[in-house]
Amino acid sequence: MFLSARPERGGALRVAAIASVLSLGLAGCGGATIEDESSDAASGGSGGDCGTVNIAVNPWVGYEANAAVIAEVAESELGCTVELKDLKEEVAWQGFATGEVDAIVENWGHEDLKARFIDDQQVAAEAGPTGNVGQIGWWVPPWMVEEYPDILDWQNLNKYADLFETSESGGKGQLLDGDPSFVTNDAALVENLGLDYQVVYAGSEAALITAFRQAEQNRTPLLGYFYSPQWFLSEVDLQKVNLPEYTEGCDADPEAVACDYPEYQLDKIVRADFADENGPAYQLIENFTWTNDDQNTVARYITEDGMSSEEAAKKWVSENQDTVQEWLP
């Protein structure tokens, strides 16, 4: 599961500027590069000296919540200097080789990137689960299920394609996706399931949320990509379309995918040398684990309550010291 620096989101994380990001490209993961132009890209310190830790921040508010809380604990409890860098997913992985990125703190699958950066290049390592369980899929606002009770069966979607037609969908039904860099099989799914739909990109998580909120308020048709954990699901009870059941390996060929998304056990990925140094910042990140409800609480503070990410993290940390103490080295 994204555009530049997330201007739509409240409380954007900006502890330090990105060292350099070249050729980000809106067309998803392909072609993005990251290049180290700094001779002193710092890593988490070894021994008892925490030093500086560079955490990538991917552009959705749940990830922002993870990063903000880890940063707050690292700085207040361990004396670390934390640099938070707004980077899309594959670009962040490229930072492991250059030393610009020490940690990705919410990874959604990406078995291809694990093979490339962990197995082949050996510049990254897994650092355990976040505790969050992720789900991606196609969703509609609740009013549509009341009006069209069979719409949650994917085999009925073509019957309703005209409802979802927009000026951008080329005479077909619109399937609204988020940022083009989000994890998505949607274009292949539409083609392989023989659906009369066109994927259209809203551009960001915030734009998706706005579209679903307005669709429910105004009772306008909307079929869109969405995911959990996400605080918005407690505001509008979006209903998930039942795509063909996921089975192991059914998504192995990205061009031939004709099944639902898997359930993701979200995890953390770190720079290999950062893990080998085993400093306090690495130990904190490895120990970090919380629930979907925890993440959604912090995300709601940021998005709905008008807090900065730092304020939201401080509030959650102050109210959950028992959990925080379990994370400390």
Its pTM surpasses 0.85 = no
Q: What confidence tens digit (pLDDT) does each residue in 7-42 have?
A: 333 333 333 333 333 333 333 333 344 443 333 333
Domain membership of residue 130 (yes or no) is no
Domain membership of residue 166 (yes or no) is yes
Average pLDDT, the chain: 87
The answer, yes or no, to whether residue 200 has pLDDT greater than 50, is yes
Domain membership of residue 245 (yes or no) is yes
Domain membership of residue 28 (yes or no) is no
Residue pair 110/262 in contact (Cβ under 8 Å)? The answer is no
Name 309's Cβ contacts closer than 8 Å, sequence gap at least 6. Answer: 11, 12, 13, 64, 65, 67, 68, 302
Q: What confidence tens digit (pLDDT) does each residue in 262-309 have?
A: 999 999 999 999 999 999 999 999 999 999 999 999 999 999 999 999
Domain membership of residue 41 (yes or no) is no
- Count the domains in the chain: 1
Domain membership of residue 187 (yes or no) is yes
Domain membership of residue 92 (yes or no) is no
Name 183's Cβ contacts closer than 8 Å, sequence gap at least 6. Answer: 1, 89, 108, 109, 110, 136
Residue with tokens 């703190």: 105
Mean pLDDT of 186-205: 97
pLDDT at residue 318 in the model: 98
Q: What confidence tens digit (pLDDT) does each residue in 51-104 have?
A: 999 999 999 999 999 999 999 999 999 999 999 999 999 899 999 999 999 999
Q: Which domain holds residue 150?
A: 135-263
pLDDT at residue 1 in the model: 56
Domain membership of residue 59 (yes or no) is no
Question: How many Cβ atoms are within 10 Å of 277's Cβ, its own excluded?
Answer: 17
CATH classification at residue 226: 3.40.190.100
Per the model's pLDDT, the better-predicted residue between 24 and 114 turns out to be: 114
Question: Three-class SS of residue 198?
Answer: strand
Residue pair 105/63 in contact (Cβ under 8 Å)? The answer is yes
